[in-house]
Structure 1
Amino acid sequence: MVMKQVDLAFSESGSDRTLAVEIIKAAREAERQTLGLESFGILKAYGIPVVQTAFAKTEEEAVKAAEEIGYPLVMKVVSLQISHKSDVGGIRLSLQNGDEVRAAYREMMGTIPEKRPDAVLEGIQLQQMLSGGKEIIIGMIRDPTFGPMLMFGLGGVYVEILKDVMFAIAPVNEKEAREMITGIKTYPLLAGARGAKPSDIDALVDAIIRVSKLVCDFPEIEEFEINPMMVLEEGKGAFAVDMRLTLKKK
């Protein structure tokens, strides 16, 4: 595979960082320490591609948003108290039309409170459903000695059971970001094992470098995770599907 020079041509001090500052400031003012998908704007500010997403508080809003995004869609419940959405039936895949959106919304709002009466359901999130691709995870935890420690690995069972991840101290350059990717044991799955088409490694390198810049710019971010990010075939990019960040306590 030909290695391309990754382009990080985005503003260092303009509206990009300003948008991220505003989102974090708003969270502080609302006394929210943990942010989820509502902070997607931070990724956009740093040029990290995100899957097309909309938030809805009502059934009618959900149907309207679905028509605007287009089908097929994924629906996810939005609640700070629910980390593992699938455990409570908080994820629906491959919704094909408005009727299916309505049915999924009603079922979530009807059954999840029975399973998690402690959870506040803020609404639902609709996302474009990407076809193909592989799930990866990019994370960061701020070590008291070494500072921001970046993590990269394949998502799902690979990170949960096999613990197949690589770490690096931020900031990282292109060479270091690429070594994080090629260093995992399951890298052949990304490179195109057994005749499969290779994944877009350059897009992952770019995403790691941008995350590195983000967490260095904002030392108040204690933990950060894009999980999953869907990486498509070579040349087609990688898109954040879900994210979570935790701010340091004041």
Structure 2
Amino acid sequence: MIGSLIRDARAAQRGVLGEIESKRLVAAAGIAVVPTRLARSADEASSIAHELGFPAVLKLASPDVVHKSDIGGVRLGLADGQAVARAFEELRQAAERAASPTHFEGVAVQPMAPAGLELLLGAYRDAQFGPVISFGLGGVLVEVYEDVALRVAPLHPVDAAEMVGEIRAARLLAGFRGRPAVNRAAIEQALLGLSALMLAAPDVAELDLNPVIAYPDRILAVDARVVLTPASEPRP
């Protein structure tokens, strides 16, 4: 699965996997993801939302957009098929109005995940150290707080446990002001999965899972982005 996703992207001369491809790659590494499907029309989006469940989320599908929210490329909490159809057209128009050229492939449709603690799990390939795994507080404020723990792969269970415990926001994981504690073991297992993935797939340059929503019994990756190394670049 992982190899075929990368080969298909290379064949199409794409350096970034789409969200749905990225989620497939992450799922193949053993990390739970929100079910997501591509819709190329308003009717198809409505049909998929009925299958996956409401409330629904629609996100602009385009290889040209890194942060979808920057151009109004996300619609949340869509209650029915009509709302989904309207949101599809709004996202298509948002792509047309974008300041930079934006190829509109359709929209990614997924059910809205229940509220929980938003985390960031990621990885990148450092020229000196090789694969580096990251963990921290997620959501839209990740770049503001910069509360991230880093380790060089391969990760061992003790490394993953230390990462989870050393961020400044670690006390949120144990429950805070009425919020339940989240499943730290699931987070640690996902970090180990990312480490194994980066070692097994040298074509992956960067991998971002943000947000990953943590619950008392599990974690769930809501968004995913995978960047490939340039085809001619040596991979550390």
Residue 106 of structure 2 corresponds to which residue in structure 1?
A: 123
Give 5+ residue unaligned stretches, structure 2.
232-236
Q: Give the corresponding residue for 1:89.
A: 72
Query: Are 1:21 and 2:3 matched, yes or no?
Result: yes
Deviation at 1:193, TM superposition (A): 2.2
User: TM-score if structure 2 supplies the norm length?
Assistant: 0.93
Separation in 2, partners of 1:102, 1:195? 37
Match of residue 33 from structure 1: 15
Following superposition, the deviation at residue 138 of structure 1 comes to: 1.0
Q: Contact 1:158–1:164 (CA<8 Å) still a contact in 2? A: no
- Judging changes above 3 Å, is the alpha-carbon distance between structure 1 residues 71 and 162 closer, same or farther for their aligned structure 2 residues? same
Deviations 1:28-62 (A, max 9, x none): 11111111313221112121100121110111110
Q: Give the 3-state SS of the residue equivalent to 1:216 in structure 2.
A: helix
Contact 1:75 1:125 in 2 (8 A): yes
Distance 1:29 1:115, change over 3 A: closer
Runs of 4+, deviation exceeding 4 Å: none
Query: Which residue number corresponds to residue 165 of structure 2?
Result: 182
| Structure 1 CA distance for aligned equivalents of residues 94 and 56 of structure 2 | 20
With 155-164 and 82-91 compared, the bigger mean Cα shift is at 155-164
The CA deviation at 1:112 is 3.1
Equivalents in 2 of 1:159, 1:117: separation in Å? 25
Give 1:117 deviation, angstroms: 5.6
* Counterpart secondary structure, 1:194: coil
DSSP-derived class of the 2:149 partner: strand
Task: Return 41-50 or 63-72, whichever deviates more.
Answer: 41-50
- In structure 2, C-alpha distance between the alignment counterparts of 1:20 and 1:170, rounded to whole Å: 19
Give the alignment partner of residue 213 of structure 1, picking from 196, 217, 229.
196
CA distance in 1, matches of 2:4, 2:95: 32
In the other structure, the counterpart of 1:3 is: none
Unaligned runs of 5+ in 1: 1-18
Distance apart, 1:115 and its partner CA:
2.9
The structure 1 residue matched to 2:149, chosen from 166, 170, 195, is 166
Give the counterpart letter for 2:214 in structure 1: V
Identity of aligned residues (%): 36
Q: Which amino acid in 1 is paired with 2:37?
A: A
User: What amino acid sits opposite 2:230 in the alignment?
Assistant: K
Do structure 1's residue 243 and structure 2's residue 224 form an aligned pair? yes
- What is the CA-CA distance between 1:158 and the residue it aligns to? 4.8
Q: Is the 8 A contact 2:20 2:36 kept in 1?
A: no
Amino acid aligned to 1:25: R
For the structure 1 residues 112 and 30, does the alpha-carbon distance in structure 2 shift closer, same or farther, using more than 3 Å as the test? closer
Matched residue type, 1:238? I
| 1:59/1:222 CA distance change after superposition, 3 Å | same
Give the CA deviation at 1:157. Answer: 5.2
Q: Among 168, 172, 177, which residue is 1:194 paired with?
A: 177
Distance 2:93 2:83 in 1: 15
Over 3 Å counting, the alpha-carbon distance change for 1:112 and 1:216 in structure 2 is same
Alignment of 1:225 with 2:208, yes or no, is yes
1:45 and 1:210 map into 2 onto residues whose CA distance is: 10
CA change 1:157–1:188 in 2 (3 A) is: farther
Q: 1:73 aligns with which of 56, 60, 68?
A: 56
Correspondence for 1:132: 115
Q: Are 2:126 and 2:132, in contact at CA under 8 Å, matched by a contact in 1?
A: yes
- Report the RMSD for the aligned CA atoms in angstroms: 1.3
Residues 58, 48 of structure 1: CA spacing in aligned structure 2 closer, same or farther, 3 A cutoff?
same
